[in-house]
Amino acid sequence: DPDMPFVPSIPEDQFILVEEGDPAVIPCRTSDPDAQVTLVNSLDKSVHALYDTKQGFIGNFPAGSYTCKTMVKGVEFKSDEFLIYIIRATSQLPVEIEALKTVYKTGETIVVTCVVFDNEVVNLQWNYPGKVKEKGLIKLDDIKVPSQKLVYTLTIPEASVKDTGDYECTARHATKEVKENKKVAITVHDKGFVHLEPQFSPLENVNLHEVKNFVVDVQ
Q: Are residues 131 and 67 in the same domain?
A: no
Q: Are residues 133 and 52 in the same domain?
A: no
Neighbours of 66 (CB within 10 A): 23
86 falls in which pLDDT band (50, 70, 90)? confident
Q: Are residues 121 and 61 in the same domain?
A: no
Sign of CA dihedral 118, 124, 129, 133: positive
Q: Are residues 42 and 120 in the same domain?
A: no
Residues in CB range of 34: below 8 A, 6 or more apart: none
The radius of gyration of the chain's CA atoms, rounded to the nearest angstrom, is 30
User: What CATH code is carried by the domain that includes residue 149?
Assistant: 2.60.40.10
Q: Which domain holds residue 147?
A: 95-189
187 falls in which pLDDT band (50, 70, 90)? very high
Q: Is residue 1 a part of any domain in this protein?
A: no
Q: Is residue 217 a part of any domain in this protein?
A: no
Mean pLDDT, to the nearest integer, of 26-30?
92
Convert the pLDDT of each residue in 37-84 to its tens digit. Answer: 999 999 999 999 999 989 999 999 999 999 999 998 888 999 999 999
d(CA 206, CA 89): 66
Q: Are residues 100 and 162 in the same domain?
A: yes
* CB-based contact 119:20 (threshold 8 Å): no
The per-residue pLDDT of the chain, averaged, comes to 91
Q: Are residues 109 and 169 in the same domain?
A: yes
Mean pLDDT, to the nearest integer, of 167-171?
96
Q: Are residues 121 and 56 in the same domain?
A: no
